[in-house]
Amino acid sequence: MIERLFNASAIGRLTAAVRRRWPEGLLGRASERLRLMYASGVTRAALYRWADGGSFMGAAGASGHTPLYAALLTRLNGALYRAGSTAGRLWRGSALRAVCALLSASPVLRESRFLKALRGIGVRRPLLLMFALYLPLDVLARLPSMPDMLGPLWHNALLLACVLYVLLRRMARRTPGHYTPIDAPMLLFMGLCVFLLFYNSAVFSVGLSGMRATAQYLLWFLVLSRMVSDRRDWELVYRVMVLMGAVLAVHGIYQYITAAPIPVTWLTHTEMGVRSRAFSITGSPNIMGDLMVMLMPLSVALAYQKGLSWERKLFWWGCAGVQGLACLVTFSRGAWLGLMAAAIVFIALQDRRLFFILLASAAVIIFIPDVMNRLSFVMTDDFAVASQVGGRAGRQEIGFMLLRGSGYLFGMGHGRYGGAVAMQNPIVEWLTYHYLDNYYLKTLVETGIAGLSAYLLLIAVTIATLFRAAVRVRGTYMRPRAAAILASAAGVLTHCMFENIFEVPYMSAYFWGLAALACAAARMGGESS
């Protein structure tokens, strides 16, 4: 039904005409030639052989040769298991354990439906649910009616609870846990951040805050890659994030329709005709747009699940549609570029037929007056002047100047310039502080070439691991979702070239949480196959 309606529409007829004439054109013949060369060449074969072979997500020490990291992980797990065994013996002989046994034997507690329900739910899934709802819980904790200490502390308490859960779980198991290729470069980067904290901090408290903003939320990958144990855990985090994104998207579209008031700094003098910019509960249209870039591919992937009724497919396509529309009405050019990058990656991995729909949609959207004004302003002299004087280009020149003065190797130090911590702690009186609106440049200015190199190594290994995960689960229900996570990562990393996306705690946590889901999918896909 949906397909018939689309084919009868103007976009559908235009898409069909393009598809008919494409093979006859110069671009069509050239692309077909390149496709045949790639399909029959050694590059594709080597790429997929690398992605599908070797030890990827096994238990530490399970392979024939044990890497140094796996050996260290095995020893750590052995120490935790011995500590857990000792603690268990002490607990079994304690008076507190005897009291607990007497209480649990009482008829009132033994027959309590509430306690039975709590035992059935356990601890792990409530923690995973709280992570999936990180953004709304963070907004709720920071409401004026809430205690002042709750906002800054709740997410640290959640992370600590998850770390303790993983440690206690290791203490109860003799066999070591799973490790991923991302672990080693992540620990290398975090170790370098700790070194720079002590080596290069003009004010230790500011450096500590800057180091936490850079490195703390990477811990979510190390935690979630070990907490997600089965398909139910995986589906809980994935689907709750998608549904949360759909609700926020509807809210953002409502803001645009009702022309919610926004600060004048969100628009230039040439864009005053724009009625509003969607931001929902994020407080920023750029972050709202990037959140939609992250979640829209996940929604599309759910529509590719085999055996779904057309009503459910329509629902997931509807979620993707409102998320895409919400990204559009944020009027964030960086988010638009990120969404284009995410769409291209997903189409290349999952369904190349969507490429024509992407082209047709872009051709229609680009002629919307507000979108056209927003894009065409980039080509004007006014934009060049605004960018140079107080805009991105001018701020980035200041960043390079400060980097030269402090030394290229280790930079200025954590929290010194270009990010939220520096804006909140201006320790140099003569310096005017700004956001650099480029997360990679902010990392370079604060941590130097050493820090940026370690970070780019981490990103490269992460992208390679996500690609390997998508290849490993091909032929399973996880394939479109793993492809969607890779596309989501590509979109977010593209947007990071224009905004300090990972300065926002929940965006960094969600990014690394999705990477952990991809690794868990590869592990579960390998076990099921």
Q: Which residue has the tokens 């409530």?
A: 126
- pLDDT tens for 443-468 read 999 999 999 999 999 999 999 999 99
Which pLDDT score, from 0 to 100, does residue 300 have?
95
Q: Is the predicted pLDDT of residue 389 greater than 60, yes or no?
A: no
Cα-based distances in Å from 83 to 30, 129, 176, 387: 64, 29, 14, 58
**Residue 9 banded pLDDT, cuts 50, 70, 90:** low
Question: What mean pLDDT is predicted for residues 503-529?
Answer: 85
Q: Is the predicted pLDDT of residue 356 greater than 50, yes or no?
A: yes
Interior angle at CA 466, CA 461 and CA 470, nearest 5:
145
Q: What is the three-class DSSP state of 123?
A: coil
Other CB atoms within 10 A of residue 181 CB: 18
Which pLDDT score, from 0 to 100, does residue 393 have?
79
Q: Is the predicted pLDDT of residue 195 greater than 80, yes or no?
A: yes
**Which residues touch 464 (CB under 8 Å, ≥6 apart)?**
181
- pLDDT tens for 256-309 read 999 888 887 777 655 666 778 999 999 899 999 999 999 999 999 999 988 888
Do 347 and 358 touch, CB atoms closer than 8 A? Answer: yes
CA 137/CA 510 separation, integer angstroms: 13
Q: What is the three-class DSSP state of 435?
A: strand
Say which range, 165-169, 170-174, 241-245, 309-313, has the weakest mean pLDDT. 170-174
